[in-house]
Amino acid sequence: MKNNQEVTILITEDDEGHARLIQKNLRRSGINNQFIHLKDGQEALDFLFGNGNEPSKVQSDASYLMLLDIRMPKVDGVQVLERMKADERLKLMPIIMLTTTDDPREIERCHILGCNSYVVKPVEYEGFVNAVQQLGLFLSVVEVPTINGNCSNK
Q: What is the per-residue pLDDT for 5?
A: 46
pLDDT tens digits, one per residue of 44-77: 999 999 988 888 999 888 899 999 999 999 999 9
How many residues in total does the chain contain? 154
Q: Where are the beta strands (DSSP E) in the chain?
A: 7-12, 35-38, 63-68, 95-99, 117-120, 144-145, 151-152
Q: What CA–CA distance (Å, rounded) separates 144 from 62?
A: 10
Strand 117-120's sheet: what is its strand order? 35-38, 7-12, 63-68, 95-99, 117-120
3.40.190.10, 3.40.50.10470, 3.40.50.2300, 3.30.1490.20: which CATH number matches 7-144? 3.40.50.2300
pLDDT tens digits, one per residue of 83-135: 999 999 999 999 999 999 899 999 999 999 999 999 998 888 899 889 998 89
Farthest CA pair distance, the chain:
42
> Which pTM was predicted?
0.89
pLDDT tens digits, one per residue of 89-99: 999 999 999 99
Could you tell me the residue ranges of all domains in the chain? Answer: 7-144
